Every structure is written in C-alpha cells, then in structure tokens.
Amino acid sequence: METRAMKLAKSAKGLIKGLAPKQKQTRQKTTKPLKPSPLTTSLPRGHVGLDTTEPDKLSRVGEQDEHEHAARPANIIAEAQRAATGKSAAVILGRRPRHDMGHPATAIAIHEDQDASLRDPTTRRSHKAANASLTATVGADEMVQTYSDEEESEDNGSCYSEESEASEDDVDESVVEDMRKLEENFKGISQRYRLINRIGEGTFSTVYKAEQLPQPDEVDENDEPADDDADPDAPPSKRRKTNAAVGKPTRSRRKPQMVALKKIYVTSSPHRILNELELLHELRDSPYICPLLTAFRHLDQVVAVLPYFRHLDFRLYYRDFLVNDMRHYFRSLFNGLWHVHKAGILHRDIKPTNFLYDHSRREGVLVDFGLAERQGTDWQPCLCTEAKDKRREKFLNSFAVQVLHTQPDLISTGYPKSDSRPSRRANRAGTRGFRAPEVLLKCTSQTTKIDIWSAGVILLTLLARRFPFFNSADDVDAMIEMASIFGRRKMQTVAAMHGQLFETNIETIGERGFTLDKIIIWASCREKEHDTLRAGEAQAVSFLQGLLELDCHKRLSAKEALQHEFFTAPVEDEEERAEREAQEAVEEAERMKRR
C-alpha cells in the first residue's frame, strides 16, 4: 500500500519533470503601495446627537434577550458632533488621550470644511510599509469564498477571499444590483473604487472586492501622457509633468490595486463602529494585523477600506495540514495575538475565517475587530480573581450551594421556580464553538486568555480533522460538549471558580473525561495499526493542553505559547519527515509553474 509520503513524492516528481523545459528567469514585479484616501467626517446641518449612554453588550450568538441599538441617520459617531461645532480639536474616533501608551492626545486632525477629513500624521508612512509587505495581487488560480452562514458571529465580511479573474464575468445579478445601489447611495465611492464582486456577507456588514481607481491629482511613475502632442523626444517623466501642468489626462500603466470595502450596516451600534475603527488605527503598525487604510461616512452609511489579502478557504486545507504546516500557521497567529494582547486588547472572535492565512507565503493576518475591546472594559470583580481559600469560603456560602443542601432532589427536578437573585450580566460575544469556558460561565473579569482558548480550538480542529469540532446550538449545549471531553469533575471545579454550579444528570458524561490524544485518535478515525500519535503530533497535543486549559489562570499566554517547544524545538519521526519533504517538493514545483 502506498503511503501518503510516496504519493506526494510521485506527484512532485511528475510536476518537476513536466515543468523542466519551461523554466525561465523573470524579473519579479513590484507592487506600488496603496495611497490612502481621506476619511470624510463632515456632518450635515441640523445634526442631532445620539444617546449612547448604554453601550451595547450584544453577543453574536445565544443572546435573544438583547438587541443592537439601531443607528439613526447622520448619527454614525456621536463624538463627531463636538468636532463639527468646533468645540473639540481632537479624536473623531473617540480616542481618549493615552500619554501612558505613547499616543498623542491629538492623534487625529479634524477639518470643518464640507470635505472634512481625518488623517493620521503617520498614515502615509504606515500604509506604505503595510501594503508593501501585505497587499497581494490576485492570480488566475485563486478562488471565490462567500459566506452567509448565520452561525458565524457578527459577520464574516472581514474574510477577504481569493477570487479568480474569470469570476468577474460571473457575478450574480443580485450582487450586481447590490453594488449598483451602493454606488448610487454612497456619494463619491464610484469615483474612487470599481466594485468587482461581493466576497463576504454577515449580520452587520458586507464586504466587496474593489479596485482602487487613480485620482486626477495622483501621478505615478508608470503613467503615460494620453495625447500625442507631447514632445516624443522628452523623457516620460517630463511628459507627465507637462501634461499634469496643463491639466491634460494621462494613461495609467500601474498595476491594479485591490482593496476590500467593508460596508457596515446602519443597524450597527455607533459605539461598535467607533471602537473597531479606533482599534484598527491603533494596531496599524503590526504586520500581523489587517490595517485600516481609510474609512468613509455618507449620512448614516460607513465604509471601511482595508487591503485585499490572498488566502485560501480554511475548509479546503484543514484535512491535509501536516504538523509542520500547523507550526507555521500558529506561529503567525500567536504573533498576531501577542501584538493585540500587548496593547491590552481582546479580539473576542478568533476563528479560522478571521485569520487570513496564505499557505504559499506561510503568513497570515488577523481581521474583524468588530467585537474587540480593551481589557478592563465593564470590568467587575469575579470570584476567580480572589485567593483560593477566600474563593472557597464565598462559594460554600453562596445561595446556590445552600439551596442544594436544603433541597438535594433539585438536581433531578430542575431549578427554583422563584429565584430572587439578580441575573449576572457579562459579555458573551463570540462565535459558537470557539468561546472559552469563562465566557460561557459569565465571568465578569475576562482577560486576553479567551483568545488563547479559541486558538486552541483551531488546533484541535486541525489535529482531529473535524470542522467545526464544537457545534453547539446554545450555551447549555456548549457546556455539555466541554463536559463530554473534560469530564464532570473538572467542569464543576471551573464553574465553582467563577461562582457557578455545574450539575448534570446525563449519564454519558463521565467523571474524568478523556485525554486529548484519545479524542484526536477517535475523531480522525484511524486504523488500529495507527492508533498512536506520531512524534510531531504528540508534541502538538502537549502544546494543545496548554491552550485548552479550563482554568484561565493556568492557560498559556500568547508570549508563552511562542516560547513552547512546539516552536522552539520541533520534533518529527521519519514518516512525518518524508511527508514534509514531499510536500515541500510539490510546493516548489507549483511555484515554478506559476512563474
């Protein structure tokens, strides 16, 4: 029986043999960085302030009792009212002075004319650096990925998918109509961008792939004069300057610059829009974060402009990921999380569709900060922050424990009919299947460790070859799924740590649960002769145990994860090494073919 390594080796040899006569040395083309467009912020006359005294705490899933605040026309950012009236000279994005973090108090300049704009002093420099390293062109072998799955959190719109050139002629009529309406309703957008296709759609936003159009006042080194009257003996640069001086148009030879336009629906909370733009602006210098190029507002509509990144749909490769591939994937992911957490920010929605990974370059970027928040927002004391002895004392004296002592049959009958305790309110935002146990248990002191748990679920998905691994319909089912793996005893311990009780009469949930290596072997349906983990997989499972730790205080941080032996001292057996070398040969042959 041929092994997987032998098949890959044959495939690589066939590709290399067929491509040998076609090898050519070609000069690599350079891509000109995107030039950021101004962020229009002028408000119409008669602008009325929006009451935002109650920030929304809507969870993307499992929150039937809370609804998003609808944005009123022209009230997209409440703080802009003060800027438009001249009472404030700083921060249209709502940022407070942060001298302790090195941010100037007036990081954003505001102009009060009709075409007022927001522009960071370092925008041009940071955009050039970001786009030079991250913006990718679209090749003929790329693919279309459109999302409309309501099980995803707030939106999958930030997933900027790959698209083939031929797909531009196959755009659905409904998508064409949506793009036409956007161009009609959003003043000036058609002069700046040419909409190509819809590449993402979610609850609160839609993302379109677009080409950035050259502006009349822009001069590029590849532009040529459009008329034939110019001096043919003059150098191209002089002809361009001459035509620009007399107002004559030029023909552009520049390479098309692709961007992703994220149209945020008017039903989104102004606080959420404000928060996302602010955090993206703060994290703009990180190479692992999708930078915000610019944003536009027209009446009650907001469009954010972000780079278009080449990547593959997670569902196309998660079954074929080798351990070595996982190592590159998670090194890039945890580098991104380290930059986010270092700034004191919780992403809150880590999942495969929010990490755009380019397998050929082995690089990825984090996107979709719609649910992100600063650590400490709405912070309230939780029992998990107390000392262990004090925590136990408070738990034993809690109302729930007293009720169970007086009514031991309550477990089999349900819960008290008249419970006078006030309901606990905590942020439970996220995507089903990726939320940490402290989020499900309504911990009021959540930290950046919730993102580490979500990353661990992705690793478990890759090792088990199952996506999605957790597929619960609500919070109760999610707790049952966790208990089925980790056992009743551990779930009771972590629930008590957050001042909660976990009791169930489901007989299939054992006391001790199962080890992660057994779960992976069962889920991957291996044959009996391969019922043990290989060396690289065993090391990955050891790393996974630190990520999927129920106790958030014992869970690895992003910095600690990068220092794990999974990255610093990788191991692999002979079969894994053969598979890796065969796959690398196939990838090299594919790169030669693309050239």
The residues assigned a catalytic role are: 349
Residue with the two structure tokens 């705490």: 57
* DSSP result, 469-510: S---SSHHHHHHHHHHHH-HHHHHHHHHHTT-------TTS-
The dihedral sign for the CA sequence 458, 461, 466, 472: negative
Residue with the two structure tokens 């994220």: 262
Give the helix, strand, coil percentages of the chain, each rounded to 5.
40, 10, 50
Q: How far apart are CA 178 and CA 173, in angstroms?
A: 9
Task: Give residue 144's Cα distance to chain centre.
Answer: 18
Q: For 231-261, b where at least 16 C-beta lie within 10 A, e where not — what string? A: eeeeeeeebbeebbeeeeebeeeeeebbbbb
Find the helix packing angle between 449-464 and 516-523, rounded to 10°: 40
Q: How far apart are CA 4 and CA 433, in angstroms?
A: 31
List the alpha helices (DSSP H) in 398-472.
399-406, 410-413, 437-440, 449-464
Q: How far apart are CA 572 and CA 560, in angstroms?
A: 22
Q: Is 195 helix (H, G, I), strand (E, B) or coil?
A: strand
